[in-house]
Amino acid sequence: METKESTEIKAPLKEHFGNYMVPVRDALEIFSGKWKIPIITALNFYESCGFKELERIVEGITPKMLSKELKFLEENLLITRKVEDTRPVTITYSITEYGKTCRSVMSELYRWGTEHRKKVFNIEGEAWESC
């Protein structure tokens, strides 16, 4: 037995994981916040929606946040914005084929989150209604 074990210096994360964190952060940026997942889910379900439609489907969102998040999702190639030459002008937001690949991440989050709920709150699916 050596005393070395207790005095050993543990290296910073970077030395072991390099830039492992970078893509994890990238993914997290897409899904975190209050509104991105609801918007993606809505467009996954309805394929295409107008701005006012999304305002009603994604309950509680303000136009400022909706506008901001749509811009973000478009920049990240998950949705498209098409301007239709009608009166008044209508704008159609649609999910892209690439946007649909989010489902695998969301279903893993759902799976783990469901287990977590059971573990921490000891709550099963049926009890969600009361939360």
Partner DNA sequence: CATAGTGATATACTTTTGTATACTGATATA
Partner DNA sequence: TATATCAGTATACAAAAGTATATCACTATG
CB of 11 vs a second copy, minimal distance in Å = 7
In three-state form (DSSP H/G/I as H, E/B as E, the rest C), the secondary structure along 90-130 is: EEEEEECCCHHHHHHHHHHHHHHHHHHHHHHHCCCHHHHHH
Q: Which residues contact 46 (CB under 8 A, 6 or more apart)?
A: 53, 57
| Interface with a second copy: number of residues (CB under 8 A) | 57
| DSSP state letter for 79 | E
CB of 67 vs a second copy, minimal distance in Å = 18
Beta bridge partners of 80: 94
Applying CB under 7 A, does 61 fall inside the site for DNA?
Answer: yes
Contact range with DNA by CB under 7 A, out of 38-46, 53-61, 98-106, 114-122: 53-61
Applying CB under 8 A, does 24 fall inside the site for a second copy?
Answer: yes
Report what 40 binds from DNA, a second copy, none; CB cut-off 5-8 Å by kind. Answer: none
